[in-house]
Chain A
Amino acid sequence: NAGVTQTPKFRVLKTGQSMTLLCAQDMNHEYMYWYRQDPGMGLRLIHYSVGEGTTAKGEVPDGYNVSRLKKQNFLLGLESAAPSQTSVYFCASTESGAKNIQYFGAGTRLSVL
């Protein structure tokens, strides 16, 4: 049972380069989330999706775009990477509703030089 899988696990980019982070879940969850984790700041929500074909902005959406073309996949894109986007990125998924547990991937460590 894979749960939530993130690819890649590590990436180094140069300023201005673009990349896409992939999140895949095999639990048939409706809701999916992208967070970034920075020292001393906990997890901050970038974007989220409440179902296939839907996306919404979270707390820190600037510089990122997302797509949810298939229910099991949630993609996070950086069109023009900046050093401020150096972070660890986590994807999570949950069944619909506030009482449901969020299941997390293992994270993607991104460095932007």
Chain B
Amino acid sequence: AQSVTQPDIHITVSEGASLELRCNYSYGATPYLFWYVQSPGQGLQLLLKYFSGDTLVQGIKGFEAEFKRSQSSFNLRKPSVHWSDAAEYFCAVYSSASKIIFGSGTRLSIRP
């Protein structure tokens, strides 16, 4: 069965520092992978997605993610975080019949 694991529940980084959020997936074939962001009190918004091709994908708000099949990973990165990046981040994988499975989320806090 498909699954997504986000091993970090909560991460705190300093403003201006680089960021990497980890995501590992379990899927038999080539996965469709997503990163969503949830700002406090809001719904989820798509940051980026990977379906095929170039393994480094660019998203909105300066985020990027790299698909590594050998490690079953799809980590999210940003070179320099801003205070407005404080939010919860969800990795997700397509399951079947247009359903996607979400990870448990990583909460990002920004240190001034």
Whether the pair A98, B32 counts as a contact (CB closer than 8 A) is: yes
Residues of B within 8 A of A43 (CB): 44, 90, 102
Q: How far is the CB of B49 from chain A (nearest CB, A)?
A: 7
B residues lining the A interface (CB < 8 Å)? 9, 32, 41-46, 49, 51, 90, 94, 97-100, 102-105
Smallest CB gap from B91: residue in A: A42
A residues lining the B interface (CB < 8 Å)? 4, 31, 33, 35, 40-45, 48, 50, 56, 58, 90, 92, 94, 96-102, 104-107
Residues of A within 8 A of B90 (CB): 42-43
Residues of B within 8 A of A105 (CB): 43
Q: A101-B46, A104-B44 are contacts. A42–B94 as well, Cβ < 8 Å?
A: no
Contact residue among A97, A101, A106 (Cβ-Cβ distance under 8 Å from B49): A101
The CA-CA distance from A104 to B49 in the complex, in Å, is: 16
Residues of B within 8 A of A98 (CB): 32, 94, 98
